[in-house]
Amino acid sequence: MNTRNWVAGGVLALVVVTAFAQLPGITRTPVQEGDLASAPGRQAIVARVDFAPGAVVPKHTHAGEEIGYVVEGSIVLIVEGQPPRTVKAGEGFLVPAGTVHEGRNVSSAKAVVLATYVHEKGKPVTTMVK
């Protein structure tokens, strides 16, 4: 990856982190990012998302797919048009691009999700929904 792409990728990862920076009890840590050789113009960002007990990521969308794996604890995933789903440690989920969804830790223990975002470069990774 050349320096320009690396810097652009860093900015997008920063957008993922800062989009949730002011949400109480939510910590996002970028793990990896890179261009997809098999899909020119697309990028993947991997982030660790820590949910404190009771923490909520309110309604939002992603420019591309979100592929998640619950590493620890459990979250309630609420995808618009579907019933809420509890996703436990060892289970995964997929949220299609542009789909309104939210995540909640309704337990008294911490939850950790490893999230991968696959999206078109240059588009915001996350958009909050009012």
Over residues 18-50, the pLDDT tens digits come to: 455 579 999 999 999 999 999 999 999 999 999
Give the mean model confidence (pLDDT) for residues 73-92: 98
Name residues whose C-beta falls within 8 Å of residue 36's C-beta, 6 or more positions apart in sequence. Answer: 42, 43, 44, 118
Contact criterion met (CB below 8 Å) for 75 and 48: no
Give the fold, CATH level 3, of 3-128.
Answer: Jelly Rolls (2.60.120)
Which of 102, 71, 100 is closest to 85 using CA atoms? 102
Which of 78, 70, 66, 33 is closest to 51 using CA atoms? 70
Contact criterion met (CB below 8 Å) for 31 and 114: yes
